[in-house]
Amino acid sequence: NPEVVERTIETKGQNLLDGLKNMLADLGKGQLTHTSEGAFEVGRNLAMTPGKVVKRTPLYELIQYTPTTERVLATPLVIFPPWINRFYILDLTPEKSFIRWAVEQGITVFMVSWKSADASMKDVIWDDYVAAQVDAIDTIRDVLDVPSVHTIGYCVAGTTLAATLALLAARGKADKVASATFFTAQVDFAQAGELQNFVTEEQLALIGALSPQGFLDGRYMTA
């Protein structure tokens, strides 16, 4: 790489020493980092849209964001982010915030913040996430006294949302959800495409070996 060679000559090799230092620091932490520690902080330059926690359970917290407009859409929106992402995946910065944009359009937004996986969650199963989505929907309907909510399911939480909708329909309560939008969510697994490269018997066995406490350490996912 001619740019690396040029930089090495300019710095008399200091760039290589800096790179080695960063690599050893990452090895010590057991994960690959792209920014320095403390570069981002919730409330300072992440998740800056004002909100409040209106419900807390062992599996999730429900955050409410109030519209900034005089006129407000009658039906609120609840967002279910991926289980493995922080709630601020859609509220990164004011310039990159779907939540901020939504409240500026007069939408009352609710965001689910999932508990980060640890050994205490080894017995949590798929059904628990479906039940949590139903609970969040019912909570919002009660808090705002509305008949239904709009929903967004992101990634695996979108897959869960599809199951939640099926469950509500089977119970004759499909009208609790006015609409459902899916972000990068797979629902039909009959033709799973590239996903099949990661769900072979060998891959599943490896995941099982790496998660003896019942959860997969996030450092393996970033490797």
Confidence of residue 193 (pLDDT cuts 50, 70, 90): confident
Q: Is the four-CA dihedral 160, 54, 97, 179 of positive or negative sign?
A: positive
Active site residues: 155
Confidence of residue 77 (pLDDT cuts 50, 70, 90): very high
pLDDT of residue 180: 98
Which pTM does this prediction carry? 0.80
The answer to whether residue 22 scores a pLDDT higher than 80 is yes
pLDDT of residue 221: 65
Q: Considering the chain, what percentage of its residues have pLDDT values greater than 70?
A: 92
